[in-house]
Structure 1
Amino acid sequence: MTLNPNLRRFFSEFAENKVALVAAIIVLAIVLLALLAPLVAPQDPYDLASLTLRDARRPPGYVGTQGYTHLLGTDAQGRDLLSAILYGLRISLQMGLVAGAIAFALGATIGTTAAYLGGRVEAVLMRVVDLQLSFPAILLAFVLAALLGQGRWPLTAALVAAQYAYFARTAHGAAVAERQKDYVEAALSTPLPGRTVVLRHILPNCMAPLLVVGTVQVASAISLEATLSFLGVGLPPTEPSLGMLISNGFQYMLSGRYWISIYPGVALIVLIIAINLVGDQIRDQLNPRLRR
């Protein structure tokens, strides 16, 4: 089976940027490690029977009571830090992708609907979006997470509420431009229902900018989740989230137990930077004005 010429050209141009290519390899490696975490992690951080406080805050290379070496040390609960980081990356990717996908669908629906209907409906919907964009996303997510409580689904709802407006604004701008084109006007003159016109003619031509925003917002959702967990309003302490791991080790930094916070922090930074570099390259390739 031969690859579509457009996709072949896209991947060829992507591979020309060595920095973006390395970032994509890092992202794929992290995704693979996160998927295989139950198989490659030395310890299951959810298995309370395998945890003991005698192994708490042990330095990297320490041989624990279970008989295996803690390559990155242990945290304050006696969890193997390498295992906790692998499961934490899994949580971060799950939260980022799920929240990003829901925000994508909600924002794209609002933006394209407002552009298609126009008039008062467009004015009301976009004023609500503009009002939300005037608030910092982290502040809105923090307030909602504090009100909804700890847990994956309450945190996902808070992330979606903080991010959908970016997709709505992008979809609206692209849909307004498409709405004024001749082929859309021709489709509107037919008996086709409005939903079909939006889904078949307007939305597909708005996907390029939405995909770019989606890549950036996945990284943003991962960062927001870690920040909220660090502040104590995200995931509960029993979840080995990267933000929670950093928070648990922060109080031990001055006592020399740097590894509890530093290693999860490095993993989080590498993941976010790699995703942003991939998103920048996709933006450059999908926007003809930015192509070199």
Structure 2
Amino acid sequence: MTTKAVSPWRNLWIRFCEDRIALGALIVVAIILVLALFAPLIAPQDPYDLSGLSLRDARRPPGFVGSGAYVHWLGTDAQGRDLWSAILYGLRVSIQIGIFAGAVGLIIGTTVGILAAYHRGIAETVLMRIIDLQLSFPPILLALVLVAVLGQGKAQLIAALVAAQYAYFARTAFGAASAERSKDYIEAAMATPLSNMRIVFRHILPNAMPALIVVATVQVAYAIALESTLSFLGLGLPVTEPSLGMLISNGVKYMMSGRYWISVYPGIALIVLIVAINLVGDHVRDILNPRLNR
């Protein structure tokens, strides 16, 4: 009687489910993704529609019934926005920016790192010295400068986040690709008529992907945190598209007057999202790294 072989992806899932904390974090991330995706259907108010806001509903406590005849379960902010709706839309924006910035950074950084590792020589020296130089600057400082130069807007913010983060992908890709580049099967492939592109994308890249997946997970969470920081400082998205960072910033001045909910609830949503993503990424790293055994 033959036993059915378990696919690598199924084996990865089985090992992932062994950690209940990581599995719980994944469920939390999935719930947040669903809430953010269906925010226009779930939220009782469109917080981006300024004509639908009323200053009579501003700074109302949780449980207040406003002029829209529905309950503001988390209260309202200084502009009269329903905080539950604003948080859902803020999560939607943060996740979109985090995933898109992480994906673009992954593509650019992986391309730079693998090309430097494969071609070696002057290409490796020039590209990796540029990466090392960029890594010497704090990402928040670089993002601040780029946002100040490019201006406000979703596209400008994503460009700033990509420029601040792609170096981490490049360094990781370079390390993983360099390890693969020195192996015998790559030397054998280079001795055949196979093209450089085929060797890179069919042999080196798949073996470098586990390390890149872990970095991508962490960098998505970091991009969300960085976007929220920029929005908190007033350099992120415009005021017509409030993100979680902007919601937190708008409520800081009301904290001493007892209106804690304006900042606290968006802050809790942001913390839960970032911590959950980091827990998932940390466990994926442990699974994909054979040197770490728990």
TM-score range, shorter chain: over 0.9
The CA distance in 2 between the partners of 1:99 and 1:111, in whole Å, is 18
Letter in 2 for 1:144: L
Task: Give the one of 236, 239, 248 matched to 1:237.
Answer: 239
User: What letter matches 1:132 in structure 2?
Assistant: Q
For the pair 1:183 / 2:185, whether they are aligned, the reply is yes
Q: What secondary structure is seen at the aligned counterpart in 2 of 1:288?
A: coil
How far the C-alpha of 1:120 sits from its partner, in A, is 0.8
- Asked if 1:162 corresponds to 2:164, the answer is yes
Match of 2:270 among 268, 271, 275: 268
Q: Distance in 2 between matches of 1:206 and 1:238?
A: 41
Q: Name 1:111's counterpart in structure 2.
A: 113
Of 31, 46, 49, 2:33 maps to 31
Query: What SS class does the counterpart of residue 99 from structure 1 fall into?
Result: helix
Letter in 2 for 1:77: Q
Secondary structure of the corresponding residue to residue 66 of structure 1: coil
Aligned to 1:219: 221
The percent of aligned pairs where both chains have the same amino acid is: 67
Q: What is the Cα-based RMSD across aligned positions, in Å?
A: 1.2
- Show structure 1 runs of 4+ deviating over 4 A: none
Distance in 1 (CA, whole Å) between partners of 2:11 and 2:235 is 45
Between the aligned partners of 1:4 and 1:88, the Cα distance in structure 2 is: 40
178-187 or 108-117, which deviates more? 178-187
- The equivalences for 1:249-260 within 5 A come to 249-260=251-262
Q: CA deviation at 1:287?
A: 0.3
Match of 1:153 in 2: 155
**C-alpha distance after superposition, 1:52-80 (max 9, x if no partner):** 11111111111000100100000111110
Which letter maps to 2:76? T
Letter in 2 for 1:273: V
Is the aligned partner of 1:137 residue 2:142? no
The CA distance in 1 between the partners of 2:59 and 2:103, in whole Å, is 37
Provide the secondary structure at the position in 2 that maps to 1:58.
coil
Counterpart secondary structure, 2:291:
helix
Return the alpha-carbon distance in structure 1 between the equivalents of residues 53 and 218 of structure 2. Answer: 37
Shift of 1:16: 1.2
Find the aligned partners of 1:238 and 1:49 in 2 and give their Cα distance. Answer: 11
After superposition, residues 90-101 of structure 1 pair within 5 angstroms as 90-101=92-103
How many residue pairs are counted as aligned between the two chains?
Answer: 291
Q: Distance in 1 between matches of 2:163 and 2:137?
A: 12
Structure 1 unpaired stretches of 5+ = none
Could you list the per-position Cα deviations for residues 20-65 of structure 1 after superposition, in whole angstroms to 9, with x for gaps in the alignment? 1110110000000001101111111122232111111111111000
Cα separation, 1, equivalents of 2:80 and 2:252: 16
Give the whole-Å Cα distance in 2 for the aligned partners of 1:31 and 1:91.
Answer: 11
Bigger mean CA deviation after superposition, 187-196 or 167-176? 187-196
Query: Alpha-carbon deviation of 1:5?
Result: 2.5
Q: Output one character per residue of 1:127-157: Cα deviation in whole Å (capped at 9) or x when no partner.
A: 0000000111111111111111111000000
Q: So what's the TM-score if we normalise by structure 1? A: 0.98
Equivalent in the alignment of 1:285: 287
> Measured at CA, do residues 44 and 22 of structure 1 come closer, stay the same or move farther in structure 2, by a change above 3 Å?
same
- State yes or no: 1:14 paired with 2:6: no
Aligned to 1:47: 49
